[in-house]
Chains A and B, each alone.
Chain A
Amino acid sequence: MDFLKSLEGYSEKLQKTMIKNRLKKLKAEIETEVAGEALDKLLFLLLKAMGLLFLVDKEYRKNIKDFNATYVICSRDKKIDVSAIFKKVHGLFSEKDGMEVRDVIVENPTTTVTFRDGKAMAEFLLSGNPDVIAGMLDNQLSVSGNLNYLFKFVYLLWLIPELLGINDFKERLSHQS
């Protein structure tokens, strides 16, 4: 969380502006990633954005009021290794509900999702028609742990593009797959 560290010492207002600027940059990066082929970094970028949105968007933050959970999302080709830890985090001068992204696999997650590769991940989490069952039967993905947490997580992810102002996100992505 180098970026958050770099905010230390600034006023709250300035911190907010810097986060919003950072989100704009992330938006551009996500759009580039979606236009590309591999999609390996997409989830990581979305989670980054998610973490920051929790800091600045009160409505979005309401979704994770007192929410504690750890997700591990990885791919069998080892190109994706992401953990998302929902907990109280320190940001903008106070303890708030938030989420921390790590590019490593943490232990004892609530739910683990393993994808074949980045494309399988993108299709499952974000496309307009996530064919979970076909994915599972083709061995494109496997899930272990509490499914309800996964459902919630996917819901939170689906809100991001709209909050970032990315139009037709799903359409763009579905052109990919």
Chain B
Amino acid sequence: MYDKIDEIRDKLKGYTPGNMKESLPLLDSLLELHHTAKAAVDIERARYMTAHLKQTEDQNIPMPVRRAQAVSSYLSRRKVCFHDHNMLGGATTGKVLGAPLYPEFFGLGIWPELGNISTRTENPQLLDKKDADILNFEVFPYWMEKSISEEVRKVDPYRQSLLEKMIIYTVSKAATISHTTPCYELVLQKGINGILEEATQKQAEYGEDEEKSDFYHSVRIAMEGILDYAANIAREAAQKADQETDPKRKENFQRIARICEKVPAHPAETYHEAVNALWICQVAVFAENSNMAINPGRLDQILYPYFIREYKAGKLSVEDALNITGCLWFKIADNVNLVPEAAERLFGGAGAVPAVTLGGVDRDGNDAVNELTYLLLKITELLPIRDPNVNARFHPEKNPVAYRNEVSRVILTNKAIPAFFNDVENINTLVNQGETLEHARDYAVIGCVELGSQGRDYSASSSIFMMMYTILYMALHNGRTKVTGDAPLWKATGNPEDFTTFEQFWDAYGEQTRLMAENAVALNNTYGEKHQEFLPTPLLSALFKGPMDKGRDLIRGGAVYNSSGVTHIGFPDVCDSICAIKDICFNESNSEMCLSLTELVRAVDNNFKGYELLEAYLKNTAPKYGTDHPVAVEISQRLIKLGYEVFNGQKNYRGGNYRVAYWTMTNHAGYGSVTGALPSGRKANVPFSSGITPVSQIDTQLTASLDAVAALNSEHTPGAYALNMKYSPVECSRENVDRFGSIVQAYMNNGGQQVQFNIQDYETLTEARDYPDRHPHLLVRVSGYSAYFNTLNKAMKDELIMRSQYNLPSGKFVPL
């Protein structure tokens, strides 16, 4: 059916990273600009939104309408900028690389730094005095009692205070409404005008029902904001065109003006229109909701009809399509998160992680790898930039080996992206979560690694972070934590000397897991309720399947599916710790190392000082997840099952499930660097292992390591996980590419859900840490997304260096 694949692949072969200067000069120059752009705080949204909310404070306008007005006022009034010769109109902020400030979330966190955020050592974000004063005098004072965390504190100060301990659980609703994939197809097909008409009609129809009527009203206002914004772009571009003397640039402005006059108001017809319409909608979503993990989704599917129609008609060349797509990539990468310095240690270096998903099967279960899939892969190869986060779905039975190998080749070439996702396991786990088979097949990757039917599942997939280190600490210290005093936090579950069997200890661990889960869920649900009260999302809701039919906002359960996500930090280290406890405290047949749990805990709490033999045993002999040791296999699977069971019975504030996941962004390194030792033999202040990845530097083989992960029941990880593997750099030969792809496929056949790679060796990464100038744009996979190595904090750099490196041809572990 995709009859132009060979032809297009053949044409794509002519474009390589080495010849971009000649073959795609526009993209080459944009890449240069991207690399030199300095992040700057953008206050425009905060300013207009705040002004509008202040103005309407006492007017008794329903919140959905009032917030839509505020968003709309920003969209209508914001500056339109053209920073370069990108072929698309629209930008997330008014800065070349902007960090938008969301005062309703954590924006006020930069207050202490207003004077020096531009000059701080870690990832400075430029902010001039004038803007700083606006924040200080106009914006921030309004939000002091109103930012969402303070609203939550008013009703649940206790659980909010536990959140602020950072090391128990975190709830990202304090920072964001996001982590979902809108249905941009709707806009491409109907145009914003179509949605607006529908909203108008339905508002009239449901005039009696206040909630519905308010919702449709708010959608109308939001849609008008998008239309205003697009019209402003068109007008500004036309003006620029008039002033421009360079004929090529003039033409570019004229084209942008033409396109933005038409889309997203009307349905898109050409590839260029479709891409620009999609981008403007993405910008609009950021106007309403924070710039984290709002995902473009399955672009090779959404954009395919526009691409292939024009291509076949001879109106769009491969070069045109590469240029347009590349421009979209740079647009997607035009923003970063605002990060207060204090948070750098835990979160430093993150992009906004908008995920693009390629390949896999279509809604009917057939091979969906098409001509555009290969073109988007080519762009991914040519533009190794932080965002978008490109992910390749692979269905071992339906997708061709040629596709598998092309993805592998791109990874070996740019050394980091895309990540691989297994369609068989991922579709299965989503069906197990209640999605229909057809919807599950249409999943897109969210943010780092999470899964959700695109445009149908409002997944809030980063809702809760569980600190497994603290669960284990509580299980070993009678329910106490290091940060909440001498009394048990939730429940006294016994001191080490109280456990006479392993199962008694396990029960204590399970009980503390359950209690942490319940508290985190309660707090997350409170946040959700406060979002419903104060932060309705009519704009995002209109670009989604469900809300327009139900007459209900996304955050009130308007979507077809309404899940929330829970991820876990420290799984591999805690798993190894529990294995060690079983192996040396409750294993009479262990003649090499036998120790009471009390003694083990003492050694751990002393960071193994005076327990060197024990430490050596734990590191080198005790059972480890990532090997085929039966204890490790058993404990890893039980632990995953426990996490699933604890959350599976919980319901979120929208009536949806909690989907358990194991991805860690940079948190594992940050938290590891500030926590104590573990029974696994890990010493204090050492980064935890990332995501679901077996602990670094354990003695194992590539296949054993992959098998351990693949053996985990994917029904227990419906939010997916990040498995980070590192290969020594190898020649990108046909043989190596095939070997690479074969390994991935075997891992998937064994049940693996996700895997991503860094093709780096210890020496290069160490050099990049010690001499940042020698590797200015080094792109690495962190734990679910890509980052520039130089923007990461030290703990994260160390963790990346420390990761086990494998030799691809031999599968052997290369020790550090």
- Which residues of A are interface residues toward B (Cβ below 8 A)? 62-63, 67, 128-134, 136-139, 142-144, 146-149, 151-152, 154-155, 158-159
Say whether A152 contacts B140, CB under 8 Å: yes
Of chain A, the residue at the smallest CB distance from B153 is: A146
Chain B residues whose C-beta falls within 8 Å of the C-beta of A154 in the assembled complex = 111-112
Interface of B is mostly: helix
With A and B bound together, what is the CA distance between A159 and B132 in angstroms?
13
Q: Say yes or no: A133 contacts B674, CB within 8 Å.
A: yes
* Complex partner residue of A134 from B108, B143, B345, CB under 8 angstroms: B345
Measured between C-beta atoms, what is the minimum distance from B146 to chain A in Å?
9
**Contacts beyond the supplied A63-B136, A63-B137: 20 A-B pairs with Cβ under 8 Å:** A128-B116, A129-B120, A130-B342, A132-B342, A133-B342, A133-B343, A133-B345, A133-B346, A134-B674, A136-B166, A137-B674, A147-B149, A148-B108, A148-B143, A148-B145, A149-B144, A151-B112, A152-B108, A152-B140, A158-B115
Residues of B near A152 (CB, < 8 A) are 108, 111, 140, 144
7 shortest interchain CB distances as A-B pairs: A151-B111, A154-B112, A132-B342, A137-B674, A148-B144, A148-B108, A155-B111
Cβ-defined contact, A137 with B167, below 8 A:
yes
The chain B residue with its CB closest to the CB of A144 is: B161
Is B675 an interface residue, CB under 8 A from the partner?
Answer: yes
Q: List 9 A-B contacts (CB under 8 A).
A: A130-B341, A133-B670, A137-B483, A147-B149, A147-B164, A148-B111, A148-B143, A155-B111, A158-B115
Known: A130-B341, A155-B136. A146 touches B145 (CB 8 A): yes
Q: Residue B482 at the A interface, CB < 8 A?
A: yes
Say which size band chain B's interface belongs to: 35 or more
Q: Which residues of B contact A136 (CB under 8 A)?
A: 164-167, 483
Q: Are A148 and B140 in contact (CB under 8 A)?
A: yes
Chain B contacts for A132, CB-based, 8 A: 342
Specify which chain A residues have a CB less than 8 angstroms from the CB of B143 in the assembled complex. Answer: 148
Using an 8 Å CB-CB cutoff, how does the interface string of B665-699 with A read, 1 for contact, 0 for none? 00000100011000000000000000000000000
CA distance A73 to B164 in the complex (A): 18
Please encode chain B, from 531 to 572, with 1 for each CB lying within 8 Å of some chain A CB and 0 for all others.
000000000000000000000000000000000000000000
A130 and B143 alpha carbons, distance in the complex (Å): 23
**Judging by beta carbons under 8 Å apart, are A151 and B108 in contact?**
yes
Binary interface profile of B, 326-344, with partner A (CB < 8 Å = 1, else 0)?
0000000000000001110
Pick from A63, A129, A138, A147 the residue with the most CB of B within 10 Å: A147
B-side contacts of A62, CB under 8 Å: 137
B144 to chain A: closest CB distance in Å? 4
User: With A136-B166, A155-B111 known to touch, is A148 a contact of B674 (CB < 8 Å)?
Assistant: no
Closest Cβ of chain A to B163, distance in Å, is 11
Chain A residues whose CB sits within 8 angstroms of the CB of B342 once the complex forms: 130-133
Assess A129 versus B112: contact at CB under 8 Å? Given A136-B166, A152-B144. Answer: no
Would you list which residues of chain B between 132 and 182 have a CB under 8 Å from chain A? Answer: 136-137, 140-141, 143-145, 147, 149-150, 153, 161, 164-167
Q: Do A143 and B121 touch across chains, with their CB atoms under 8 A apart? A: no
B109 within 8 A of A: yes
Is B114 an interface residue when CB atoms closer than 8 A count as contact?
A: yes
Minimal beta-carbon separation of A73 from chain B (angstroms): 15
Residues of A within 8 A of B121 (CB): 129
